């Protein structure tokens, strides 16, 4: 396995560990006190970034490209991040309904979805910029 591939796996794993750490911090902290507002923001941004990275990895390693257009592939990757964000918000809604805890307000839900989208977009832009730099060499 090449050094570059090892580094990519390490960075993806590190990002996942950081996101999981923030999730457990947010969950534990909010039991006793209200969690700082920024932990939820960081979680959704990192989640969108990580899901976009995972989806692009799955698309590119299996040579599964829906289009030759880089823009359309970027939109598909960002769309997948948004889809997972919507699924997560549904999960939160169902669990809160079953357990009987207070629902998040609608502006929080839309803020979470916006950050999922921004995280996915940040990954798509990062990936495209990296491709442009490697093509220019």
d(CA 61, CA 40): 31
Domain membership of residue 136 (yes or no) is no
- 79-109 pLDDT, tens per residue? 999 999 999 899 888 888 888 877 778 888 9
Question: For position 45, what pLDDT does the model report?
Answer: 93
Domain membership of residue 33 (yes or no) is yes
Rounded alpha-carbon distances, angstroms, from residue 49 to 54, 115, 123: 9, 9, 5
Number of domains in the chain: 1
Give the residue numbers spanning the domain of 56: 3-131
- Across all residues in the chain, what is the average pLDDT? 80
From 58, 49, 57, 55, select the one nearest 22 (Cα to Cα). 49
Question: For position 102, what pLDDT does the model report?
Answer: 78
Q: How confident is the model at residue 9 (pLDDT cuts 50, 70, 90)?
A: confident
Mean pLDDT, residues 57-67:
69
Domain membership of residue 111 (yes or no) is yes
Domain membership of residue 34 (yes or no) is yes
Rounded alpha-carbon distances, angstroms, from residue 74 to 30, 45, 53: 35, 17, 11
Sign for the pseudo-dihedral over CA of 18, 22, 27, 32: positive
């Amino acid at each position: 396995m090449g050094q570059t591939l090892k580094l990519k796996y390490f960075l993806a794993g590190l990002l996942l560990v950081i996101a999981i750490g923030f999730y457990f911090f947010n969950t534990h902290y909010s039991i006793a006190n209200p969690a700082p507002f920024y932990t939820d923001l960081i979680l959704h941004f990192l989640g969108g970034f990580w899901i976009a990275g995972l989806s692009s990895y799955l698309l590119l390693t299996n040579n599964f490209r829906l289009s030759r257009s880089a823009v359309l592939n970027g939109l598909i990757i960002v769309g997948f991040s948004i889809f997972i964000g919507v699924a997560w918000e549904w999960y939160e809604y169902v669990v809160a309904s079953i357990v009987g805890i207070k629902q998040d307000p609608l502006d929080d839900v839309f803020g979470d979805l916006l950050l999922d989208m921004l995280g996915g977009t940040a990954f798509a832009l990062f990936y495209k910029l990296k491709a442009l730099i490697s093509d220019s060499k």
